[in-house]
Amino acid sequence: GEASGPSVKTTVPGPKSRQMIADLDKIQFAGSVFYFTDYKNSLGNYVVDADGNSILDVFSQISSLPLGYNHPDMHKVVQDPDNQIAFINRPALGIFPAQGWPEKLTNSLLSVAPKGHTQVNTMACGSCSNENAFKAAFMWYRNKQRGGASISDEENSSCLVNRAPGSTPFTIMSFKGSFHGQTLGCLTTTHSRSIFKLDFPALDWPIASFPRYKYPLEDHVKENEAEDRRCLAEVEEQFEIYNKAGKFVAGVVVEPIQAEGGDVHASPEFFQQLQRITKKNGAALILDEVQTGGGATGKYWCHEHFNLPDPADFVTFSKKMLTGGFYSLPEFRPQQGLKIFNTWMGDPSKVLLLEKVVQVVKRDNLLKLVELSGKKLMDGLKDLSNRFPQHMKNNVRGIGTFCAFDLTSPQKRDEAFFRLQQHGVQSGPCGEQTIRLRPFLVFQPKHADIFLDVLEKVLKEI
């Protein structure tokens, strides 16, 4: 069974991990590795590292593994000989899908689709999901511009050499502090940290401010409403500037919670207004739920907490959904083949795993568990922030188990993160001085207690 608590015998990383990091470093730059992992002996919420340390994992492989390590139902999926067919015969899915594929999509991605969504395309990671949502928005925008006119020879020939009119001057608006991936199109819309962007070319696309609230929220209602208005005015302004310059804004991409950028939350009202402004300007709203989607907020999609007046035009996903892809409203459906396309178009074996995840989430009532464990986490974090104001800022925030808190300085964050690791808790740093929690969907209130105990110990030490 699952470990009853963390058990750490060496420094983390220990000597074995350090040797393996040195081995890997002969083959590739290995500077981002925390430690090597013994996946065979990892179970549930506990990851075991190469030195035999058993670590409570509240980071879940950058929020990408939904049910914890070696979940018995996941084992069943890969043990089933019929499923093994899909693991070893990866198709060019856009051309030769397996019989039964529409049913698989219906049982998995469509069974948890955001309200109002019936259309879904699979991709292989968060970056190609966003890149292709951008492309679908560009096609839609251009078709509106054409107004039914047919495509000219000049368009076809000019685009081959990256020139107008075939290549468009279209843009995607993004927000300061955002993270949408690290391929060149996605990277143009990413602004969370310079390390991701430095030295690379970027397109001239509009950028607006994302709200930065004062906490506690209930004491700063007026200021935070003003902050929403300031950011929304910037959105309007960027539309105005770029559209007037002929760099038409075809879409606005936004995370429901800016996760990589430090778990920055904005109000439902902000998102409601953003949808209104985007629609008014004839652009598509692209909700990037790559990190927020998949259940950690207590709903499958974080934006379902926002009561948007209309369904989002696009919702992109990856990570906990195991497959990348995007939902989009029917009006954004490509009208031609090969444009939203690549060799593999995702991976059916990941959708088989997702199908089972969705069943388990339902069967075991895991979204309810997320709510319970999330409440426990949030209460505990708020209590600690009150008791250790010298270390923790008063801005604990979260929905479900998708929680975060700030230390009072970047140095203190690094120290808290390190000490948590040494005491057997794997958390995730993000933003400048934030620690984010991204537990598995099987994280229980008892795991919250263990985490909070260790965090308290750490706060006493530093």
CB of 195 to a second copy, least distance (A): 5
1 touches, from a second copy, ligand FES, none (C-beta below 5 to 8 Å by class):
none
CB of 374 to a second copy, least distance (A): 22
Determine the length of the chain: 462
Residues 431-460 that bind a second copy (CB under 8 A): none
Judged by CB under 8 A, which of 115, 116, 184, 223 binds a second copy? Answer: 184
CB of 263 to ligand FES, least distance (A): 24
Tokens coding 237: 């302004």
Evaluate whether 319 touches 290 at the Cβ level (below 8 Å): yes
User: Who contacts 408 (Cβ-Cβ below 8 Å, separation ≥6)?
Assistant: 390, 391, 392, 393, 433
171 touches, from ligand FES, a second copy, none (C-beta below 5 to 8 Å by class):
a second copy
Side-chain half-sphere CA neighbours of 175 within 13 A = 34
Q: Is 247 exposed, middle or buried (0-12, 13-18, 19+ CB in 10 A)?
A: middle
Based on the shown chain and the rule CB under 8 A, indicate whether residue 301 belongs to the binding site for a second copy.
no
Q: Which is nearer to a second copy, 137 or 308 (CB)?
A: 137
- Residues lying near ligand FES in the complex (CB under 6 A): 124-125, 127-128, 183
CB of 316 to a second copy, least distance (A): 13
CB of 90 to ligand FES, least distance (A): 13
CA–CA gap between residue 338 and residue 329 (Å, rounded): 19
Task: Quote the DSSP letter at residue 208.
Answer: E
Residues 91-150 that bind a second copy (CB under 8 A): 91-92, 94-99, 101-102, 105-106, 110, 118-121, 124-128, 131-132, 134-135, 138-139, 142-143
Based on the shown chain and the rule CB under 8 A, indicate whether residue 36 belongs to the binding site for a second copy.
yes
Judged by CB under 8 A, which of 4, 9, 15, 75 binds a second copy? Answer: 75
Judged by CB under 8 A, which of 69, 301, 314, 405 binds a second copy? Answer: 69
Tokens coding 292: 């927020």
Evaluate whether 56 touches 12 at the Cβ level (below 8 Å): no
Task: Quote the DSSP letter at residue 7.
Answer: B
Strands 397-399, 402-406: pairing is antiparallel
Distance of CA 97 to the CA centre of its chain: 27
CB of 79 to a second copy, least distance (A): 7
First to last CA, the chain: 33
Judged by CB under 8 A, which of 9, 85, 237, 268 binds a second copy? Answer: 85
Residues 333-372 that bind a second copy (CB under 8 A): 333-344, 349, 353
Q: Which is nearer to ligand FES, 132 or 297 (CB)?
A: 132
CA–CA gap between residue 62 and residue 59 (Å, rounded): 6
Based on the shown chain and the rule CB under 8 A, indicate whether residue 182 belongs to the binding site for a second copy.
yes
Strands 171-175, 54-57: pairing is unpaired
35 touches, from a second copy, ligand FES, none (C-beta below 5 to 8 Å by class):
a second copy
CB of 8 to a second copy, least distance (A): 16
Distance of CA 244 to the CA centre of its chain: 32
149 touches, from ligand FES, a second copy, none (C-beta below 5 to 8 Å by class):
none
Based on the shown chain and the rule CB under 8 A, indicate whether residue 71 belongs to the binding site for a second copy.
yes
CB-based burial, 54-72: b 16+ in 10 Å, e otherwise = bbbbbbbbebbbbbbbebe
Return the active site residues.
179, 288, 319, 343
Based on the shown chain and the rule CB under 8 A, indicate whether residue 185 belongs to the binding site for a second copy.
yes
Q: Which is nearer to ligand FES, 127 or 178 (CB)?
A: 127
Residues 157-176 that bind a second copy (CB under 8 A): 157, 159-162, 166-171, 176
Q: Which is nearer to a second copy, 151 or 217 (CB)?
A: 151
Nearest to 442 by CA among 368, 377, 382, 392: 368
Residues 238-267 that bind a second copy (CB under 8 A): none
Evaluate whether 448 touches 377 at the Cβ level (below 8 Å): yes
Q: Which is nearer to a second copy, 193 or 393 (CB)?
A: 193
- Please report the beta strands in 306-448, taking only residues with DSSP state E, as ranges in sequence order: 314-317, 324-328, 397-399, 402-406, 425-426, 428-430, 434-437
